[in-house]
Amino acid sequence: MQTATVDLSRLLAALRRRKFAIVLALVAWVILGLVYVVTTPKYYDASAMVLLDRNIDRAIQQVSPFADLATGDAAMESARLVITSDPVARRVAERLELYDDPAFIAPPSSLLGKVISYVRGTVRRPIELMTEYFSAVDDPDAGLSQTPSEDQVQTQEQARITMITTVLQQNVNVYRVGQSSAFGISYRSHDPVLAANIVNAFASVYVSDVLDANFDATERMTEWMQGRLTELETDAREAARAAEEFRAENGLVTNRNASISQDAVATINSELSTAISEAARARARVSAMQAVVDRGQDVLLSGAPSGLPSTEDEEFETRRIALANAIASFERIRTRFGEDSPQFAPSERLVEQAADRLYASIQRLLEQARGEEALAEARVSALRESLQDAVSEDVDLGPAQVQLRTLEDRAETLSTLYQTFLAQFQEVDQQGSFPISNVRLLREAQIPRSASGPSTSKTLVLCLVLGAMTGLAITTIAEWRDRFLRTSDQVNAELGVPFLGYLPRVNLPNLPKTDQSTSSKNTTVSFAVGNLSPIYAPFHMRSQYAEALRTIRLSSQLSLTSGQSCVLGITSAQPEEGKTLTSLNLAAVIAETGSSVILIDADPHRTGLTKLARLATGMGLRSPKGLLDVLTRNIRWDEVCRDIDRTRVDFIPCVVPDEFSHASEILGSAAFKALLDDLRHEYDYILLDLAPMGPVTDVRGILGELDQLVMIAEWGKTSKNLVSGLIRSTPGLEEKLLGIALNKVDLRRLSAYASETDSARYMADYDSYLSGTNPTA
């Protein structure tokens, strides 16, 4: 993605060519600024400083927590809103008696203010007259009473008070001082004493208003809390009485004496859980011992099983230890002495005897465990029956207990709320005895000694900035609206057409002496206007004008094949763009190279060349004839052909009779095509001065007969869109169009439009080179 860049050279060029508009805007704004400074009365600013002190808050918080007033941005904004409020402004006006102060009611006005007031009055006066007229029509008696009614007097007085209040609010300024808790109050007035008095009045009224507001808020809160405490006390008492009455009516006892209640159910549940656990343990002991008994006493010959439950029976523990010792002794004898030793058999009998005794103990303990199991099961059954009975009774009393609990909770809540409000009421009541205000005046407003404005330097700087901005805006709009052809870049890039050169605006030269030897015909025509000749290029061959024509000639020659004659048309987009004089001078420049050239006036609508020539007035000829006679009366072209004085160019004029109305159609006829074919055999160049393409269709009609077409556009006046539209809407024009030449170019202004790649930007440097003078001389 390409990033858009700013062409600084083009921007500076735009500023240079619009410098007069920028300078004019600067001068206009500076004049307006000076008029404003001279005609505006001086004004004075007075200011005071007020502090929102948090230290006072902390001191009051030791007595009451309600004095926590924030001093952040919200507090500053609240202070500004209070100071600019209607009540504060009215109190300031009443304290200073501003309703009758002429310095406040009728301050001096600037010239700008007077102009605005005059315009507003001029616009409003007809409306008021029309309103009075229609009011008189609707109520004929309305204008008879000259004494205003009491309501009208009150309405007018209220409007005056509102107006003074609004003026105070608009001119007072409240601002924060840095990041501190202080803020300033300033006021601007044409009277310095009045400005200081108003600021001090605002500060004093604000401090008093804050103190009064705190006191009023405390009083209102005290009254409200007193009523609320009375309500809470009554509600708490009634709630407690209702709970006690409900308990007595339903025979509900307290938790300590209750046998059938939720606490009783919870207790039985706990005992039942314990009994079930004990029954499970008893069953586990019975199962473990029964498994040993079922396997027989032989299982004990290898030792007491590990699955036997632990017991506190001393006899069982003694026999279990004795069996373990007998088995250990037996194993030691068998290992050391073998089974054939005399100690083996007695030792084996001791093991069998110990196993028999332990087996008998296990049987006894099994019977004992079975008894304990039966007892545990019976206890579980009894507890379950008790729980079922307790639950049934508790279900019957459940709704009453729930309602009782609700009544007790409400009574407790109201009691707690009453105690909280009572504590807060005592604090608020104590706070009401303190004049709480966290505002204090740091600095009173002093009478200003010097005026704050209007400042001449600031006004001029502002006017210069506004003037520059206005000039830039004018430049931007002018550049945006500049849709005319001025540079070769526009012709090449925006139109996509070759550029043939700049033809500067020239002054007609004085008529030189006639050289009759240059005439090859019996009749010679002169294009002189008084003592001036429009044939400029042949007599100023080292000029930029002639150089541009040579560029057109060179472009034409390069586009032709060797030995080919050329029918070259010269046209324009609009009339009066200079195509006729360009055709005349281009023909003369081409003839200077030795090529044979004939120039034909092919514009039957204006016949510009013919009118410019003396032939048009019939001077030296009895019956002037021209192109239309050749095409309509079978007259040979050489009978109307004339030499142009002081050139090697032949010329066929175009004389259109007044009654001839189809002049343009005849150019597209076969006769005109035959004429061009004859001239191709006689001349190297046939130049046709054609009609403009914008108003008529002549060029479109003969475009097929042309070899090349040159379009002349007036510099700074021919629209790019017009030329582009003509090129797009004319089929085959791009193939025949040799290029566009800009005519009547202002070389002084051209450099402001041309880019650095355009040679026209440096035309001033080429003058000495073209004229042959030495620039260092």
Is the CB of residue 484 less than 8 Å from the CB of residue 717? Answer: yes
For residue 71, give the nearest of 56, 60, 86, 88 by alpha carbon: 56
Distance CA 46, CA 444 (A): 9
Distance CA 530, CA 511 (A): 9
DSSP 186: E
Distance CA 708, CA 565 (A): 11
Distance CA 161, CA 168 (A): 11
Is the CB of residue 754 less than 8 Å from the CB of residue 514? Answer: no
**Average pLDDT along the chain:** 79
* 229: Cβ contacts below 8 Å, ≥ 6 apart: 418, 421, 422, 425
Distance CA 405, CA 390 (A): 19
Distance CA 414, CA 238 (A): 10
Beta strands 597-602 and 524-525: pairing type? Answer: unpaired
Q: Residue 776: pLDDT above 60? A: no
For residue 164, give the nearest of 81, 79, 106, 78 by alpha carbon: 106
What pLDDT, on a 0 to 100 scale, did the predictor assign at position 591? Answer: 93
Band of residue 57 on the pLDDT scale cut at 50, 70, 90 = very low
- Helix, strand, coil shares of the chain, percent, nearest 5, are 60, 10, 30
Q: Residue 124: pLDDT above 90? A: no
DSSP 746: -
* 777: Cβ contacts below 8 Å, ≥ 6 apart: none
Q: Residue 760: pLDDT above 50? A: yes
Can you tell me whether residue 290 is helix, strand or coil? helix
Q: What would the mean pLDDT of 365-384 be, rounded to a whole number? A: 81
Higher pLDDT pick, 604 / 133: 604
The structural domains of the chain, ordered by start, are: 8-40+454-482 (no CATH), 262-431 (no CATH), 488-511+520-770 (3.40.50.300)
Higher pLDDT pick, 300 / 177: 177
What pLDDT, on a 0 to 100 scale, did the predictor assign at position 531? Answer: 66
What pLDDT, on a 0 to 100 scale, did the predictor assign at position 772? Answer: 56
Q: CB atoms < 10 A from the CB of 185, how many?
A: 25
What's the gap between Cα 526 and its chain centre? Answer: 69
pLDDT in tens, 433-485: 555 567 788 888 888 888 888 888 888 899 999 989 998 888 888 777 778 88
Encode burial over 695-721: b for 16+ CB neighbours within 10 A, e otherwise.
ebebbbbbbebbbbbbbbbbbbebebe
Is the CB of residue 174 less than 8 Å from the CB of residue 83? Answer: yes
In order, the DSSP letters of 251-276 are TPPPTTT-SSSHHHHHHHHHHHHHHH
Distance CA 569, CA 701 (A): 12
Q: Residue 387: pLDDT above 90? A: no
Highest mean pLDDT among 88-92, 142-146, 415-419: 88-92
Supply φ then ψ for residue 98, to 5 degrees. -75, -15
Higher pLDDT pick, 571 / 286: 571
Is the CB of residue 46 less than 8 Å from the CB of residue 181? Answer: no
What pLDDT, on a 0 to 100 scale, did the predictor assign at position 260? Answer: 45
Which value, to the nearest 10 degrees, does the dihedral of the CA atoms of residues 729, 731, 736, 740 take? 10
CA distances from 36 to 114, 119, 454, 458, 467 (A): 12, 18, 8, 12, 15
Band of residue 775 on the pLDDT scale cut at 50, 70, 90 = very low
Q: What would the mean pLDDT of 522-538 be, rounded to a whole number? A: 75
* 385: Cβ contacts below 8 Å, ≥ 6 apart: none
What pLDDT, on a 0 to 100 scale, did the predictor assign at position 122? Answer: 82
Distance CA 446, CA 640 (A): 101
Q: Residue 738: pLDDT above 80? A: yes
What pLDDT, on a 0 to 100 scale, did the predictor assign at position 739? Answer: 94
Q: What would the mean pLDDT of 645-649 be, rounded to a whole number? A: 87
**In the chain, what percentage of residues exceed pLDDT 70?**
79
pLDDT in tens, 533-580: 788 888 888 888 999 999 999 999 988 877 788 999 999 999 999 999
Report the run of H or E that residue 708 belongs to, with start and end.
strand 708-714
Q: What would the mean pLDDT of 88-102 be, rounded to a whole number? A: 86
Helix 192-250, helix 344-431: angle, nearest 10 = 130
What pLDDT, on a 0 to 100 scale, did the predictor assign at position 568? Answer: 95
Can you tell me whether residue 580 is helix, strand or coil? helix
Report the run of H or E that residue 50 belongs to, with start and end.
strand 44-52
Higher pLDDT pick, 173 / 770: 173
